[in-house]
Chain A
Amino acid sequence: MGLAESLARLINVALFGSSLRMTTPVLYATLGGIFSAESGVLNVGLEGLMLVGAFFGIVGSVTFGSAWAGLLVAVLACVLLSLVFAFVHLEWGADEMIVGLALNVLGQGLTTYLLLVMFNVAGYYSSDDIVGFELVRIPIVQDLPLVGEILSGQFALVYLAFVSVAVSYVFLYRTPWGFWLRSVGESPEAAEAVGINMRLMKYAGVLVGGAFCGVGGAFLSLAHLNLFSEGMTAGRGFLALAAVNFGERKPLKCMVAALIFGFTDALAIRLQRFGLPSQVVLMLPYIATVVILTLSAIQRIAARRARLATKG
């Protein structure tokens, strides 16, 4: 098998299709991180929230026999947990980073506990009772060459993720609520001075953030695999945190970061078929994150130097 042939087998249309699917859960959590961060609350608990979302997605799906009901239950669970986060942080003055870490510890502990108690299994739960999401075929698009294979035949939530990016952008930058939210994050005192309800905005940011994490979590458990396994988020919430960081909270730039992670994920899985050890494969997204953060920081500093140089 020649190199060109191997490359063609590695990088083909299906790779881009699966990249979009791998991007989706990270992208939802990233949007969640953006809303929280824009209101001035750093949420390092995205990982735990997503895990809770994944678990309650299964609970909802099994109970009500519908994937969309599962999604709703997941979102409710995450919003509730985010409310606790916001309350403890905003009313009782708890440190946001520590409470975020608490979400991760609690998410891990509670889901494995409930897995045992509710479904009587350890490790993972998979059953025919779990109703997953269906793939969507888009009538005209699916017949297009190349693009059709990438864009059609995905889960509805994949499309919704990218729509959500656009909606979030419009909301944050084109509506008064978005402006209020961002100004609270930017300068709480100034925002209060002009009569913006700071507390309300922070609650809103954290809760919307939690809701997005719930969607991302439910996508993990109810799309493609239809199962819940302990710690199945596998650091995706932290990757989302990295994406928010890299994209400087701007929805489009953060989306690019999430896409890079999704692509690395999809590529890594394929590399496994070429004999790359799975442990190395699992490492790749995290190495990519560190490299991306480094490069963007260097570039930022270089740009600043260049600006200073032209100024004289």
Chain B
Amino acid sequence: MNGPREVEASAQKSQVAQMLPGLVMQLLNYALILLLALGIGALIIASSGRDPVAAYQALFHGAFGSRMAVANTLDRSSVMILAGLSAVFAFSTSVRNLGIEGQLYAGAFLAAWIGFGIEGLPAPLHIALAFVMSAVAGAAWSLVPILLRTRWGVDEIVPSLMFNYIAIHFTAYLVAFPFKSDTTILPGTDPIYATAKLPRFVRGSPLNAGFLLALVLVFVVYWFLFRTKQGYELRMVGMNPAFAAYAGLPVKRSALMGMLLSGAMAGVGGASLILGFFGRFITQFSQGYGWDGIVISLLAKNNPIAVIPAALFYAGLANGSLEMQSATQVPITLVSTIKGVIMFLVTAQFFLRYLRHRYPQWA
């Protein structure tokens, strides 16, 4: 009885052994990309007459240099993990969802609406309702672009992009008119009730239960994609749509499902920021987290577990840049340039090709 299971176990072990050099090489590749990106960033800092070493020291210190910095970075990573998972769903089903940012807005607005619109619910129920509705809102916001593709063969790239702008302007309209609040100078909604606020753990840091939710969802998504038949189908369709169609897999349904799950995850990401950090919906609350999510899923090679370190890295960049600016007067937007360079190179094969050539025994 134990025979097949042992064989399977040893097969898995050898699989791990095979994957290890690939992993090392991948990490080395990332290290080189990061080095290059930081190098270009240093050139830009130096050419504007400031000290790159001091700037990067402040950047690192602001990201991971103290207990509080770590807590804040973990907090910032919550929405990035969720945006990353959103992109993982889309890209592993070969749906090019460039509308994550807009889906984030849709989810965030609905979470806020549930948060300030309903009074008297017990906290767990209130929070759960807000998250569920934000998932629905995010999925709904992704529906038109994906239906355009599955029904009428319109490439989803442009429509999903357009829905970002529609979401940003539409929610701005909502808070300027129907939901205009007298409680804030910023264009935003009323504050959410205390029952909808996510509990915080660390005194003085916004780190909250949203981070735990993000971690739980990482494992749920991993389990779904790699341990269920449905997830397997989605990934097969993503790997090779033509073959999947030939093998009788429901290609259109998988694309629809991948997109809706992606939208739902983005909606939850938006909600986590509102319920955990801002406490109300405000316009321009997202600093491009949807776009960060895309790069995070690329860095993670569409593996949900690997989304965590990738998101922590991005969150560290974002938080560190604040201290960099206040300590060394290097503007935070430098980080966007570094992110841009990383994005340029993340799918490039240059370093990998070199490493494979240099260390053929690993390839």
Instruction: Point out residues on A near B: beta carbons under 8 Å.
Output: 44, 84, 88, 91-95, 97-99, 101-110, 112-113, 116-117, 235, 238, 241-242, 245, 277, 279-280, 282-283, 286-287, 289-290, 293-294, 297-298, 301
Shortest CB distance B335–A (Å): 7
Contact of B334 among A108, A109, A277, A282 (CB under 8 A): A109
Report the separation of the CA atoms of residues A92 and B347 in the bound assembly, to the nearest whole angstrom. Answer: 9
Q: Scan B140-168; emit 1 where CB is below 8 A from any A CB, else 0.
A: 00001000100011110111011101100
Shortest CB distance B210–A (Å): 25
Given contacts A283-B173, A289-B162, contact A116 B333 (CB under 8 A): yes
Most buried by B among A117, A242, A287: A117
Q: A97-B157, A106-B341, A106-B343 are in contact. List 15 more A-B contacts (CB 8 A).
A: A93-B350, A98-B295, A99-B344, A101-B294, A102-B344, A105-B291, A105-B340, A109-B333, A235-B165, A242-B158, A282-B169, A286-B169, A297-B148, A298-B152, A301-B153
Report the separation of the CA atoms of residues A242 and B163 in the bound assembly, to the nearest whole angstrom. Answer: 12
Interface of B is mostly: helix
Given contacts A113-B337, A293-B154, contact A98 B162 (CB under 8 A): no
Report the separation of the CA atoms of residues A245 and B162 in the bound assembly, to the nearest whole angstrom. Answer: 13
Interface size class of B (residues with CB under 8 A): 35 or more
- The answer to whether A286 touches B334, judged by C-beta atoms less than 8 angstroms apart, is no
Interface of A is mostly: helix
Report the separation of the CA atoms of residues A209 and B249 in the bound assembly, to the nearest whole angstrom. Answer: 39
Instruction: Point out residues on B near A: beta carbons under 8 Å.
Output: 44, 48, 96, 98, 144, 148, 152-155, 157-159, 161-163, 165-166, 169-170, 172-173, 176-177, 288, 291, 294-295, 298, 331, 333-337, 339-341, 343-350, 353
In the A-B complex, list the 10 residue pairs whose CB atoms are closest, starting with the nearest.
A109-B336, A106-B340, A102-B343, A279-B173, A92-B348, A297-B152, A94-B348, A95-B347, A92-B350, A283-B169
Shortest CB distance B343–A (Å): 3
Given contacts A102-B343, A112-B336, A294-B152, contact A241 B173 (CB under 8 A): no
Report the separation of the CA atoms of residues A282 and B172 in the bound assembly, to the nearest whole angstrom. Answer: 10
Report the separation of the CA atoms of residues A290 and B96 in the bound assembly, to the nearest whole angstrom. Answer: 16
Given contacts A112-B336, A113-B333, contact A94 B176 (CB under 8 A): no
Report the separation of the CA atoms of residues A88 and B166 in the bound assembly, to the nearest whole angstrom. Answer: 32
- The answer to whether A283 touches B148, judged by C-beta atoms less than 8 angstroms apart, is no
* B173 proximity list for chain A (CB < 8 A): 277, 279-280, 283
- The answer to whether A277 touches B177, judged by C-beta atoms less than 8 angstroms apart, is yes
